[in-house]
Amino acid sequence: MYRRRRFRNERPEMTGPRVNDRIRVPRIVLIDEEGKRLGEFLTKDALTLAEQRGLDLVEVSPNARPPVCKIADFGKLKYSQKKRAAQAKRKQHQSQMKELKVRPKTDDHDLAVKIGKARDFIERGDKVKITVFFRGREHAHRDIGAEQCMRFAEALKEIAKVESRPHMNGRRMHMVLAPV
């Protein structure tokens, strides 16, 4: 496979908005640091105006015709964008799949404990996968396994909906519950 060699004088490709001398279009729409639209300017004139104010000329909307640029402190702008992205990432909850394993012979009290765990998971926003394991002669009584699954669905019907009905997969029966 052919690999492209980098030369020392070759500049790395920049990601993000173009700033100051990297803006190559002849005319731009200019916005000042307070957010007021100043109008259409030649790029050279906008650049000198930004330099007079001690700030940078940052391309905000490159796809507009003519492109929209803003006079701002580029370092501060990048810092605030990074903080906003981190804040948004912190607030989002990744829904996970939690699995609870039972057997056809699992007793009522043990099942109630598992249902309590499933309730906690669903209230937190996670999906719950109920798995019923069958061994030996238990395969003949798949209806008991389906009944175990449906007991979960019945106990949690006000906060969860059945995403996939009980179905066999080898020696296991699976059912998925999702938050409403």
- Map out the domains of the chain as residue ranges: 20-79, 97-179
Question: Whole-angstrom Cα distance, residue 27 to residue 163?
Answer: 55
Task: State the average pLDDT for the chain.
Answer: 88
Fold of the domain built from segment(s) 97-179: Translation Initiation Factor IF3 (3.30.110)
Strand order in the sheet with 97-102: 97-102, 127-133, 172-179, 160-169
Distance CA 125, CA 128 (A): 10
| H/E run at residue 58 | strand 56-61
pLDDT at res. 2 = 66
Q: What's the pLDDT score for residue 65?
A: 87
Q: For residue range 9-20, what is the model confidence (pLDDT) as tens digits?
A: 666 566 778 888
pLDDT at residue 33 in the model: 86
Tokens of 150: 């449906």
What CATH fold (topology level) applies to the domain 20-79? Ubiquitin-like (UB roll) (3.10.20)
Better-scored residue on pLDDT, 10 or 79: 79
The residue with tokens 């993000």 is 16
- CA atoms 140, 143, 147, 150: torsion sign: positive
Query: What are 116-131's pLDDT values in tens digits?
Result: 999 999 999 899 999 9
Q: Which two tokens stand for residue 74?
A: 């580029």
Answer whether residue 7 shows pLDDT above 70. no
**Residues near 26 by beta carbon (within 8 Å), at least 6 away in sequence:** 42, 43
pLDDT grade, residue 8 (50/70/90)?
A: low
Q: How many CB atoms lie within 10 A of CB 25?
A: 14
Looking up tokens 């007793």 gives 107
Angle at 80 between CA 79 and CA 83, to 5 degrees: 90
